[in-house]
Structure 1
């Protein structure tokens, strides 16, 4: 009897150690799985008022705006003048079913970083300017991206619908421990990990003068050379040589309603002018 009790006493600690080991293994696997998921998808915590952003991309008004955009064929080579988009009662009728993906954050370089007034740190170099959401499926062989701008007092509103899904694709490349940001003036996308900047597209590779990577401090010197004399309010801007240095957030500051507005950059965008939806192409210049 004594031997049996001793055997049980030895077995219980072994079982306890085994259970603890399995628990630690499961925890490690769960953490690895969680890290992998976070590496693929930007965390919703990075987006203020995330539930409001989700509600916006699922709202009938935004879906109708996308359908109006998709309902007008894009002219080859661009249109010489804005094209009026018909104001149909049921703009989604006749189009294949689609949904908008969960919104993703878009970070852009800040004017302070460009001017050299702030140090080259992640917190000072880039900031969240708007959100993007693309279609879950192509509609009639076309993709589209919705841009959401922050509303005064909180929340998000529709700012534009753009052709293609490039912005959403690049914004979705954010990984755990890194930050994806845009240099919108040249349509360049970069990844910032610690203090190292690496290009994510061809425009970014050209933006780094062909280098595979560089420090954030060196990158700041490059954008200073490109834009420091072209910031909003500069002589270059005031003389009307270009739109000056403007982020998407600066454009959105001029509109606090839910109406779509012009978004600079190449490509087609859905806008609202004089109460009518218009489709036009615009290219931002930097020099």
Structure 2
């Protein structure tokens, strides 16, 4: 007979790993939490989110002086207008936050995306296979000189999180933060669509997502898979569409480059906002979309 102490220990561990995503599919809560899941800003006395790996490292990153100074330097540099202009360096300053209104960087939340397998139709229409955690995003506690910004963290190979980029506006963090008890929020990045998953029902959160559902108020996860498969299945990495340079395809997130992140570049116009040197991710400057 199995030792009852082992059973009690396993039960306690399962309870501590519970999160909002456990209600998305009640029959497979523990499996879902091991793959993806939303989070919320955890109060100081609350346990860290179990559905985001190395969350303490993410908190340490967004609260660090290095990230704060990077955001201040970004906010001090006007975003260039007009496409096709030169990329400009963000100047080094001894005290980049001096003279700016006081602000803090909020606790990061999960930025989930649809998976390539889901797009290709090889993955089942289940949250565990359709959605994955790709990045963490944080917005600012207040606007600074009329601007807001999003801090983007990417997973570091071997564990932990690092600063990937700072983008203009806060729509990603706003949408990602709409996850509630029993729901999962994710993005279809190709069209800037944001959706909420309730059990296996997909609902749009913005106009792009409504267009992505062909104007429907909701769709089953299975029907949504058919829509994205029709849109992107022939554009995945390795496809003729991708290899001939028509598009960058639908690829995985880049891993962190070992080069220094001290050199920051601001690309012009609508093409990009801020990029870390050394080939790290460049984020597009986004028009602030209305949230609903």
TM-score (norm: length of structure 2):
0.75
**Greater alpha carbon shift after TM alignment, 68-77 vs 143-152:** 68-77
- Which structure would you say has the larger Rg? 1
> Any stretches of 5+ residues in structure 2 without a counterpart?
1-22, 24-37, 43-48, 287-292
In the alignment, the residues of structure 1 paired with residue 127 and residue 260 of structure 2 have an alpha-carbon distance, to the nearest angstrom, of: 31
**1:188-199 to 2 correspondences below 5 Å:** 188-199=193-204
Counterpart in 2 of 1:231?
A: 236
Cα drift, residue 262 of structure 1: 9.0
Counterpart in 2 of 1:5?
A: none
In the alignment, the residues of structure 2 paired with residue 188 and residue 136 of structure 1 have an alpha-carbon distance, to the nearest angstrom, of: 24
Cα drift, residue 84 of structure 1: 1.7
Deviations 1:14-40 (A, max 9, x none): xxxxxxxxxxxxxxxxxxxxx9xxx99
Counterpart in 2 of 1:253?
A: 255
Cα drift, residue 77 of structure 1: 3.9
Query: Are 1:41 and 2:46 an aligned pair?
Result: no
- SS state of the match for residue 51, structure 1? helix
Query: Are 1:140 and 2:142 an aligned pair?
Result: no
In the alignment, the residues of structure 2 paired with residue 167 and residue 58 of structure 1 have an alpha-carbon distance, to the nearest angstrom, of: 19
Counterpart in 1 of 2:116?
A: 111
In the alignment, the residues of structure 1 paired with residue 67 and residue 98 of structure 2 have an alpha-carbon distance, to the nearest angstrom, of: 15
Bigger share in helix: 1
Aligned residues of 1:83 and 1:280 also touching (Cα < 8 A): no
Aligned residues of 2:149 and 2:170 also touching (Cα < 8 A): yes
Cα drift, residue 81 of structure 1: 2.1
Query: Are 1:51 and 2:56 an aligned pair?
Result: yes
In the alignment, the residues of structure 2 paired with residue 253 and residue 217 of structure 1 have an alpha-carbon distance, to the nearest angstrom, of: 31
| Closer/same/farther in 2, CA of residues 148 and 256 from structure 1, 3 Å limit | farther
In the alignment, the residues of structure 2 paired with residue 60 and residue 74 of structure 1 have an alpha-carbon distance, to the nearest angstrom, of: 23
Query: Are 1:272 and 2:276 an aligned pair?
Result: yes
Matching residue within 204, 208, 226 for 2:209 = 204
Deviations 1:234-261 (A, max 9, x none): 1111111111113xxx233253567388
Query: Are 1:121 and 2:126 an aligned pair?
Result: yes
Counterpart in 1 of 2:86?
A: 81
Cα drift, residue 137 of structure 1: 0.4
**Greater alpha carbon shift after TM alignment, 75-84 vs 119-128:** 75-84
| Closer/same/farther in 2, CA of residues 79 and 61 from structure 1, 3 Å limit | farther
Counterpart in 2 of 1:7?
A: none
In the alignment, the residues of structure 2 paired with residue 194 and residue 107 of structure 1 have an alpha-carbon distance, to the nearest angstrom, of: 16
In the alignment, the residues of structure 2 paired with residue 66 and residue 137 of structure 1 have an alpha-carbon distance, to the nearest angstrom, of: 13
Counterpart in 2 of 1:21?
A: none
| Closer/same/farther in 2, CA of residues 209 and 73 from structure 1, 3 Å limit | same
TM-score (norm: length of structure 1):
0.76
Supply the RMSD in Å over aligned alpha carbons.
2.9
In the alignment, the residues of structure 2 paired with residue 193 and residue 122 of structure 1 have an alpha-carbon distance, to the nearest angstrom, of: 10
- SS state of the match for residue 45, structure 1? coil
> Any stretches of 5+ residues in structure 1 without a counterpart?
1-34
| Closer/same/farther in 2, CA of residues 282 and 171 from structure 1, 3 Å limit | closer
Aligned residues of 1:132 and 1:147 also touching (Cα < 8 A): yes
Deviations 1:62-89 (A, max 9, x none): 1111011101112334562212211222
Cα drift, residue 41 of structure 1: 3.5
Aligned length: 240
